[in-house]
Amino acid sequence: MIREKTVYLLLTDTGTILTRIIKSYTKKPYNHASITFDDELIETYSFGRKTAKNPFIGGFVREDIHSVLFNQAYCAIYSLTITNDEYQKMYQYIQEISAKREQYRYNFIGLFGVMFKKPVYRKNAFFCSQFVASVLKESQVIGFEIDLSLVEPYDLPHSANFQLIYEGRLSDYKDSIMNKKVHVPYPIVTS
Protein backbone atom coordinates (compact mmCIF):
# COMPACT_ATOMS: atom_id res chain seq x y z
CA MET A 1 0.00 0.00 0.00
CA ILE A 2 1.42 3.39 -1.02
CA ARG A 3 0.73 6.16 1.44
CA GLU A 4 0.19 9.60 0.03
CA LYS A 5 1.20 13.01 1.35
CA THR A 6 0.46 16.53 0.18
CA VAL A 7 2.98 19.29 -0.40
CA TYR A 8 2.20 22.86 -1.36
CA LEU A 9 3.65 25.36 -3.78
CA LEU A 10 3.33 28.98 -2.65
CA LEU A 11 3.75 31.68 -5.29
CA THR A 12 3.74 35.24 -3.96
CA ASP A 13 3.90 38.89 -4.89
CA THR A 14 5.18 40.75 -1.84
CA GLY A 15 5.16 44.14 -3.55
CA THR A 16 8.79 44.88 -2.65
CA ILE A 17 11.04 46.91 -4.95
CA LEU A 18 12.90 43.78 -6.07
CA THR A 19 9.62 42.01 -6.77
CA ARG A 20 8.39 44.98 -8.84
CA ILE A 21 11.63 44.98 -10.85
CA ILE A 22 11.34 41.25 -11.55
CA LYS A 23 7.62 41.64 -12.34
CA SER A 24 8.39 44.37 -14.91
CA TYR A 25 10.49 41.79 -16.76
CA THR A 26 8.33 38.66 -16.37
CA LYS A 27 4.90 40.32 -16.67
CA LYS A 28 3.64 37.58 -14.33
CA PRO A 29 1.56 38.18 -11.18
CA TYR A 30 3.77 36.10 -8.84
CA ASN A 31 7.54 36.15 -8.84
CA HIS A 32 8.55 34.34 -5.67
CA ALA A 33 8.24 30.58 -5.12
CA SER A 34 8.32 28.55 -1.92
CA ILE A 35 7.62 24.96 -1.03
CA THR A 36 5.69 24.02 2.09
CA PHE A 37 4.76 20.85 3.88
CA ASP A 38 1.43 21.84 5.43
CA ASP A 39 -1.73 23.73 4.51
CA GLU A 40 -1.10 26.23 7.30
CA LEU A 41 2.19 27.18 5.59
CA ILE A 42 4.16 26.74 8.80
CA GLU A 43 7.01 24.77 7.22
CA THR A 44 7.67 26.97 4.20
CA TYR A 45 11.11 26.99 2.57
CA SER A 46 12.75 28.99 -0.18
CA PHE A 47 15.73 31.08 -1.16
CA GLY A 48 15.16 34.73 -0.52
CA ARG A 49 16.04 37.62 1.72
CA LYS A 50 17.35 36.78 5.16
CA THR A 51 16.33 40.16 6.57
CA ALA A 52 13.21 42.11 5.72
CA LYS A 53 15.09 45.36 5.19
CA ASN A 54 17.84 44.19 2.82
CA PRO A 55 17.00 42.17 -0.32
CA PHE A 56 20.70 41.71 -1.13
CA ILE A 57 21.40 39.55 1.90
CA GLY A 58 19.82 36.33 0.75
CA GLY A 59 20.07 32.58 1.01
CA PHE A 60 18.18 29.58 2.31
CA VAL A 61 15.24 30.64 4.47
CA ARG A 62 12.41 29.10 6.41
CA GLU A 63 9.80 31.71 5.67
CA ASP A 64 7.45 33.19 8.20
CA ILE A 65 4.20 33.99 6.40
CA HIS A 66 3.17 36.11 9.39
CA SER A 67 6.12 38.47 8.87
CA VAL A 68 5.83 42.06 7.65
CA LEU A 69 7.19 40.96 4.26
CA PHE A 70 4.24 38.64 3.62
CA ASN A 71 1.58 40.63 5.48
CA GLN A 72 0.18 42.36 2.37
CA ALA A 73 1.31 39.75 -0.18
CA TYR A 74 -0.91 38.30 -2.85
CA CYS A 75 -0.48 34.62 -3.56
CA ALA A 76 -1.45 31.49 -5.39
CA ILE A 77 -1.30 28.22 -3.47
CA TYR A 78 -1.14 24.87 -5.22
CA SER A 79 -1.26 21.37 -3.77
CA LEU A 80 0.42 18.24 -5.07
CA THR A 81 -0.18 14.69 -3.88
CA ILE A 82 3.00 12.61 -3.74
CA THR A 83 4.04 9.28 -2.29
CA ASN A 84 5.37 9.00 1.24
CA ASP A 85 8.79 8.03 -0.20
CA GLU A 86 8.90 11.15 -2.39
CA TYR A 87 7.85 13.25 0.59
CA GLN A 88 10.63 11.81 2.76
CA LYS A 89 13.25 12.44 0.04
CA MET A 90 12.01 16.00 -0.36
CA TYR A 91 12.05 16.69 3.36
CA GLN A 92 15.50 15.13 3.79
CA TYR A 93 16.95 17.18 0.88
CA ILE A 94 15.67 20.39 2.45
CA GLN A 95 16.97 19.42 5.90
CA GLU A 96 20.44 18.75 4.42
CA ILE A 97 20.48 22.25 2.93
CA SER A 98 19.14 23.71 6.18
CA ALA A 99 21.92 22.05 8.18
CA LYS A 100 24.50 23.76 5.93
CA ARG A 101 22.53 26.96 5.33
CA GLU A 102 25.50 29.23 6.04
CA GLN A 103 27.25 27.71 3.00
CA TYR A 104 24.38 28.68 0.68
CA ARG A 105 23.64 32.03 -0.90
CA TYR A 106 21.10 33.63 -3.18
CA ASN A 107 21.87 33.25 -6.90
CA PHE A 108 21.46 36.89 -8.04
CA ILE A 109 23.66 36.27 -11.10
CA GLY A 110 21.36 33.39 -12.04
CA LEU A 111 18.49 35.87 -12.43
CA PHE A 112 20.40 37.46 -15.33
CA GLY A 113 20.89 34.00 -16.79
CA VAL A 114 17.10 33.59 -16.81
CA MET A 115 16.71 36.93 -18.59
CA PHE A 116 19.14 35.90 -21.32
CA LYS A 117 18.06 32.23 -21.37
CA LYS A 118 21.62 31.15 -20.47
CA PRO A 119 22.10 28.79 -17.51
CA VAL A 120 24.34 30.18 -14.78
CA TYR A 121 25.84 27.54 -12.50
CA ARG A 122 27.01 28.57 -9.05
CA LYS A 123 27.93 26.17 -6.31
CA ASN A 124 25.57 26.29 -3.31
CA ALA A 125 23.51 29.11 -4.78
CA PHE A 126 19.85 29.18 -5.79
CA PHE A 127 17.15 31.68 -6.53
CA CYS A 128 13.67 30.79 -5.29
CA SER A 129 12.21 28.86 -8.23
CA GLN A 130 15.54 27.16 -8.96
CA PHE A 131 15.51 25.88 -5.37
CA VAL A 132 11.90 24.65 -5.53
CA ALA A 133 12.61 22.95 -8.88
CA SER A 134 15.69 21.25 -7.38
CA VAL A 135 13.62 19.99 -4.42
CA LEU A 136 11.05 18.51 -6.81
CA LYS A 137 13.74 16.96 -9.01
CA GLU A 138 15.93 15.59 -6.19
CA SER A 139 12.92 13.88 -4.63
CA GLN A 140 12.09 12.43 -8.06
CA VAL A 141 8.67 14.05 -8.13
CA ILE A 142 9.37 15.85 -11.42
CA GLY A 143 11.96 15.62 -14.15
CA PHE A 144 12.30 19.04 -15.75
CA GLU A 145 12.88 19.44 -19.48
CA ILE A 146 14.71 22.74 -19.03
CA ASP A 147 17.78 23.45 -16.94
CA LEU A 148 16.82 24.12 -13.32
CA SER A 149 18.68 27.43 -13.44
CA LEU A 150 16.12 28.62 -16.02
CA VAL A 151 12.96 27.59 -14.15
CA GLU A 152 10.80 30.60 -13.27
CA PRO A 153 8.08 30.63 -10.59
CA TYR A 154 5.21 30.47 -13.07
CA ASP A 155 6.76 27.34 -14.66
CA LEU A 156 6.39 25.35 -11.45
CA PRO A 157 2.61 24.76 -11.24
CA HIS A 158 2.64 23.53 -14.84
CA SER A 159 5.46 21.09 -14.23
CA ALA A 160 3.29 18.46 -12.49
CA ASN A 161 -0.27 17.79 -11.50
CA PHE A 162 -0.46 20.76 -9.13
CA GLN A 163 -3.98 21.83 -8.17
CA LEU A 164 -4.77 25.48 -7.47
CA ILE A 165 -6.40 25.63 -4.03
CA TYR A 166 -6.31 29.37 -3.31
CA GLU A 167 -5.57 32.69 -4.98
CA GLY A 168 -5.79 36.09 -3.31
CA ARG A 169 -4.40 37.92 -0.30
CA LEU A 170 -2.18 35.71 1.82
CA SER A 171 -3.62 37.24 5.00
CA ASP A 172 -7.13 36.17 3.90
CA TYR A 173 -5.88 32.62 3.37
CA LYS A 174 -4.29 32.60 6.83
CA ASP A 175 -7.60 33.80 8.33
CA SER A 176 -9.62 31.13 6.49
CA ILE A 177 -7.28 28.36 7.66
CA MET A 178 -7.47 29.56 11.25
CA ASN A 179 -11.28 29.69 11.05
CA LYS A 180 -11.32 26.07 9.84
CA LYS A 181 -9.10 25.02 12.75
CA VAL A 182 -11.40 26.54 15.39
CA HIS A 183 -14.67 25.47 13.73
CA VAL A 184 -16.85 23.58 16.19
CA PRO A 185 -19.14 21.16 14.31
CA TYR A 186 -21.61 20.80 17.20
CA PRO A 187 -23.07 23.52 19.42
CA ILE A 188 -21.44 23.87 22.79
CA VAL A 189 -23.92 23.14 25.54
CA THR A 190 -23.44 24.89 28.85
CA SER A 191 -25.47 24.17 31.92
Q: Which residues contact 61 (CB under 8 A, 6 or more apart)?
A: 45, 46, 47, 48, 49, 50
The pTM assigned to this predicted structure is 0.88
CATH code for the domain in which residue 16 is found:
3.90.1720
Q: Does residue 93 sit within a domain?
A: yes
Residue 189 has what pLDDT? 43
Strand partners, 8: 36, 79
Q: Does residue 191 sit within a domain?
A: no
- Report how far residue 153's alpha carbon sits from residue 17's, in angstroms, rounded to the nearest whole number: 17
Q: How do residues 24-81 score in pLDDT, each as one tens digit?
A: 888 899 999 999 999 999 999 999 988 777 767 889 999 999 888 888 899 999 999 9
Q: Does residue 190 sit within a domain?
A: no
- For residue 58, the tally of other CB atoms under 10 A from its CB is 23
Question: Which helix (H) or strand (E) segment is 154 a member of?
Answer: none
Q: How do residues 128-166 score in pLDDT, each as one tens digit?
A: 999 999 999 999 988 888 999 999 999 999 988 899 999
Q: Does residue 187 sit within a domain?
A: no
Q: Over 70: is that where the pLDDT of 83 sits?
A: yes
Instruction: Give the range of the structural domain holding residue 92, as residue numbers without chain letter.
Output: 4-182
Q: Does residue 140 sit within a domain?
A: yes
Q: How many domains are contained in the chain?
A: 1
DSSP state of 188: P
Q: Does residue 118 sit within a domain?
A: yes
